């Protein structure tokens, strides 16, 4: 068949197919809508914002102001960010002769972002920020990530850099950099990863030399640096981990340096180009518009002076990892919000498709023609699973932000709230990002074959979401962190008290007369008992130095923890307001998804021996 004819046949086939789908040209109408009311409800009645507002612990923030900010952040996400997600995916960021060009329309989008003041939402007031609580930040981040993960990750890193500089840098550095970073006039990056040093930062090799004038020269290669180079801003501020010549080995010998792309003159204007450049950008599965850069420091090819990128120390020499952790903890919760943002967008898309697409007969449908697929129990199961997991993950993440806000308040509760934030951060990061991918995958399934076709956008959500369980510490590393560092907090009491609180929700549920909750109370109570048993088992393993046994169960434990906590938070939401499907969703979660926790507990307490024994099956044949 000649090429032209073959093409025409395909076009016609495609056209007929779309007409029969009953949804031709409707993809744009299925654009993301920010679930502002649900987000506000979760913040206020599940995470605890309402009681904070009542007690005025967050300054003069009022409920109306919260609603107004969320509404406007949601509008920006839906009307400004989301419409550019597709072009960002198709065009991607491009590197030519050291210059990275962002997709069409993205630079203007970033300009509107700054103009709207969004970059400074939580930034320090002293440097032009609005100083709003982390709870509002994560809620807004969720919506921006629903709009486009590839866009939201850039400012996320800038905000993390702001926090690290504010906490650890000298007053001079703060005076030069903070205002520009808070406003978004300059963006920040986080440079940890090297080819031989990913999860294990002990292996880090980038080096720093003292110059004697208070500055340092940085040499080395960093890979996978998000927004390492781009055309959004005229300067980029890199936070770089490197070793001094006399540094002790391992993570105790790592220092943190601020390395700007352009040096800054005393009057704040941009001076000479620093010796740092982007050598390549990665071709990747998703988030195509987020430039993932290989950065070269100090090879003499970019700067104007002698080789070596000029850097300034942040914090103390050899204490850089602790400073970087300020940025990383912030970024871990923020990456969790990427998972939730994608999950919400995927759920909305799938629900809209399922209401339109018609196939087969359904008991509950008596209308003309084939039934909309949303009438089929299996499709409803998928959609409800998507919605329930998304809301459970949202509740955990917002509760983590609530703890972060309280840990910053002066007073006696600081240690408790810091431990709570520490406990929930790895859970929020890992569970939310797993949910992001799982829900996006279910979204593709609901669309059937059209889910696999790029045009619907379901496939992009799946591709984009896959990175979130990997970066900012893989989810495996989060699980190890939860088990080995967070379970022992306060001699193991903090986590047990938290589990006690979850049990309290199950009791409230049991004594409530709210309708529609089915067996939720008894199932949640049983899941809490199982979580308690798994936690005590892991704490015993750690106490008896049976580390491998504890590590074998770390990932299933994190999942068990998150499903149990998620169920309790959905119950809390149902108790606050059983209407709007909240009681029904809590019951669905308890009766359809929570059953996994019993099996996960068995894996945690009894899976290690088999894991060890089966390792021989991995030997090369
Ligand atoms: C798109 C993208 C953007 C990124 N952005 C940045 C950025 O801005 N800045 C930056 O510094 N880095 C960035 N990274 C790097 C990212 O953080 C790392 O890829 C990640 O930390 C994992 O490191 P790795 O790739 O070397 O994998 P590895 O560390 O080699 O891990 C491979 C596997 O082994 C597992 N593993 C490793 N160690 C252990 C252990 N001790 N116990 C159990 N399991 C283990 C991991 O969980 C993983 O499953 C980015 C990566 C990508 C792909």
Summarised one tens digit per residue, pLDDT across range 205-254 is: 999 999 999 999 999 999 999 999 999 999 999 999 999 999 999 889 99
Of the candidates 203, 172, 183, the residue with the CA atom closest to the CA atom of residue 313: 172
Ligand 1 close to Cβ of residue 398 (< 6 A): no
Distance CA 186, CA 179 (A): 9
Lowest mean pLDDT among 54-58, 147-151, 275-279, 467-471: 54-58
How many whole angstroms from 128 Cα to the centroid of ligand 1?
34
What's the rounded mean pLDDT across residues 338-348? 98
* Residue 296 near ligand 1, beta carbon < 6 Å: no
- E-strand spans in 174-275? 187-191, 207-210, 216-226, 236-242, 255-260, 262-264, 270-273
> Which ligand 1 atom is nearest residue 475's CA?
47
477 Cβ inside 6 Å of ligand 1: yes
What is the pLDDT averaged over residues 149-168? 96
**Beta strands 255-260; 309-314: pairing state:** antiparallel
Nearest to 208 by CA among 261, 272, 253: 253
**pLDDT of the residue at 30:** 67
Task: Calculate the CA 5 to chain-centre distance.
Answer: 47
> If you average pLDDT over residues 175-192, what whole number do you get?
97
193 lines ligand 1 (CB under 6 A): yes
CA contacts within 13 A on the Cβ side of 254: 24
Q: Is the pLDDT of residue 24 over 50?
A: no
Phi–psi pair at 296, nearest 5 degrees: -110, 125
Is 467 close to ligand 1, i.e. is its CB under 6 Å away?
A: yes
d(CA 294, CA 282): 8
pLDDT at residue number 25:
45
Choose among 41, 73, 85, 42: nearest CA to 140. Answer: 73
R_g of the chain, CA atoms, integer Å: 25
338: left (phi over 0), alpha (psi -120 to 50) or beta: alpha
Fold of 167-320: Butyryl-CoA Dehydrogenase, subunit A; domain 2 (2.40.110)
Q: Do residues 357 and 375 make contact, with C-beta atoms less than 8 angstroms apart?
A: no
Which residues carry out catalysis? Answer: 472
Count CB neighbours of 233 within 10 A.
22
204: CA distance to ligand 1 center in Å? 13
Query: Considering the chain, what is the average pLDDT of its residues?
Result: 93
Percentage of the chain exceeding pLDDT 70: 95
Q: Which residues pair with 91 in a beta bridge?
A: none
Distance, in Å, from the CA atom of 405 to the CA atom of 418, rounded to the nearest integer, reads 9
pLDDT in tens, 116-154: 999 999 999 999 999 999 999 999 999 999 999 999 999
Q: What is the pLDDT of residue 621?
A: 63
Q: What is the pLDDT of residue 20?
A: 53
Measured in angstroms, how far is the CA atom of residue 18 from the centroid of ligand 1?
Answer: 41
Provide the token pair at 472: 């900012």
Q: What percent of the chain has pLDDT over 90?
A: 88
The CATH number for 3-166, chosen from 1.10.540.10, 3.40.830.10, 2.60.120.340, 3.30.9.10, is 1.10.540.10
The bridge status of strand 207-210 relative to strand 94-96 is unpaired
Report the alpha-carbon distance of residue 52 to residue 54 in Å, rounded.
5
| Distance spanning both ends of the chain, measured CA to CA | 47
270, β-bridge pairs: 264
- Give the pLDDT confidence of 521-579 residue by residue, as tens digits: 999 999 999 999 999 999 999 999 999 999 999 999 999 999 999 999 999 999 999 77
- Given the structure tokens 């008991």, which residue do they identify? 363
> Out of 20-24, 249-253, 436-440, which region has the weakest mean confidence (pLDDT)?
20-24
Four-point Cα dihedral 279, 282, 288, 292, nearest 10: -60
Identify the residue whose tokens are 């030519």.
Answer: 96
- With the C-alpha atoms ordered 43, 48, 51, 55, is the resulting torsion angle positive or negative? negative
Other C-beta atoms closer than 10 Å to the C-beta of 386 total: 27
Tokens found for residue 548: 């491998």
The dihedrals phi and psi of 343, each to the nearest 5 degrees, come to: -60, -45
Report how far ligand 1's centroid is from the alpha carbon of 226 (Å). 13
The SS3 assignment for 496 reads: helix
pTM reported for the whole predicted model = 0.95
pLDDT band at 325 (very low <50, low <70, confident <90, very high): confident
Q: Whose CA is nearest to atom 51 of ligand 1?
A: 224
Written as six digits, the tokens of 58 are: 């967050």
Per-residue model confidence (pLDDT) at position 304 = 79
Find the 199 Cα to ligand 1 centroid distance in Å.
5
Read off the pLDDT of each residue in 583-606 and give the average, rounded to a whole number.
98
Q: Which of 198, 205, 278 to mutate to test the pocket of ligand 1 (most atoms within 8 A of CB)?
A: 198
Does the beta carbon of 235 lie inside 6 Å of ligand 1?
Answer: no
Q: Write the pLDDT tens digit of every residue in 51-67.
A: 999 999 998 899 999 99
Alpha-helix residue ranges (DSSP H) falling in 22-84? 36-41, 49-54, 63-75
Query: Is 106's C-beta closer than 6 angstroms to any atom of ligand 1?
Result: no
């Amino acid at each position: 068949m000649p090429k032209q004819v073959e093409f025409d046949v395909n076009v016609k086939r495609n056209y007929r197919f779309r007409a029969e789908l009953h949804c031709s040209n409707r993809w744009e109408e299925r654009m993301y809508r920010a679930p502002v009311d649900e987000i506000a409800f979760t913040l206020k009645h599940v995470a605890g914002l309402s009681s904070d507002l009542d007690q005025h612990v967050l300054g003069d923030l009022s409920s109306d102001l919260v609603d107004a900010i969320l509404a406007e952040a949601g509008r920006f996400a839906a009307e400004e960010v989301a419409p550019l997600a597709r072009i960002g995916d198709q065009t991607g960021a491009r590197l030519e002769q050291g210059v990275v060009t962002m997709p069409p329309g993205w630079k203007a989008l970033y300009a509107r972002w700054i103009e709207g003041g969004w970059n400074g939402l939580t930034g320090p007031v002293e440097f032009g920020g609005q100083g709003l609580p982390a709870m509002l930040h994560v809620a807004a981040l969720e919506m921006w990530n629903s709009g486009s993960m590839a866009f939201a990750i850039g400012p996320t890193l800038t905000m993390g850099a702001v926090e690290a500089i504010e906490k650890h840098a000298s007053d001079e550095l703060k005076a030069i950099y903070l205002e520009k970073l808070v406003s978004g006039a300059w963006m920040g990056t986080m440079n940890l990863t090297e080819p031989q040093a990913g999860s294990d930062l002990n292996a880090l090799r980038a080096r720093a030399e003292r110059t004697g004038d208070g500055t340092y020269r940085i040499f080395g290669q960093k890979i996978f640096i998000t927004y390492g180079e781009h055309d959004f801003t005229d300067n980029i501020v890199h936070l770089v981990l490197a070793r001094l010549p006399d540094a002790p080995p391992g993570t105790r010998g790592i220092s943190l340096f601020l390395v700007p792309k352009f040096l800054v003159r005393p009057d704040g204007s941009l001076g000479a180009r620093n010796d740092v450049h982007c050598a390549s950008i990665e071709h990747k599965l998703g988030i195509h518009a987020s430039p993932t850069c290989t950065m070269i420091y100090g090879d003499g090819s970019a700067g104007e002076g002698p080789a070596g990128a000029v850097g300034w120390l942040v914090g103390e020499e050899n204490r850089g990892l602790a400073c970087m952790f300020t940025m990383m903890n912030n970024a871990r919760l923020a990456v969790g919000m990427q998972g939730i943002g994608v999950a919400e967008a995927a759920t909305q898309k799938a629900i809209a498709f399922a209401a339109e697409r018609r196939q087969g007969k359904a008991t509950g449908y008596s209308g003309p023609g084939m039934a909309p697929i949303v009438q089929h129990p299996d499709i409803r199961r998928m959609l409800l699973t998507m919605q329930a997991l998304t809301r459970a993950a949202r509740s955990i993440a917002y509760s983590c932000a609530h703890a972060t806000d309280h840990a910053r308040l002066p007073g006696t509760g600081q240690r408790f709230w810091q431990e709570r934030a520490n406990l929930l951060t790895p859970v929020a990061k890992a569970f939310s990002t797993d949910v992001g991918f799982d829900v996006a995958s279910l979204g593709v399934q609901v669309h059937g074959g059209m889910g696999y076709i790029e045009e619907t956008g379901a496939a992009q959500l799946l591709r984009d979401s896959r990175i979130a369980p990997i970066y900012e510490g893989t989810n495996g590393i989060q699980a190890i962190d939860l088990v080995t560092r967070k379970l022992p907090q306060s001699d193991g009491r903090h986590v047990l008290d938290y589990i006690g609180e979850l049990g309290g929700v199950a009791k409230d549920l049991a004594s409530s007369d709210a309708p529609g909750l089915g067996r939720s109370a008894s199932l949640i109570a049983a899941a809490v008992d199982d979580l308690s048993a798994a936690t005590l088992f892991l704490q015993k393993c750690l106490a008896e130095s049976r580390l491998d046994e504890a590590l074998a169960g770390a990932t299933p434990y994190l999942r068990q923890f998150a499903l149990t906590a998620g169920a309790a938070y959905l119950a809390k939401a149902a108790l606050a307001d059983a209407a709007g499907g909240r009681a029904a969703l809590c019951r669905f979660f308890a009766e359809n998804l929570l059953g996994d926790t019993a099996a996960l507990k068995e894996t945690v307490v009894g899976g290690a021996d088999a894991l060890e024994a089966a390792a021989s099956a991995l030997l090369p044949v």
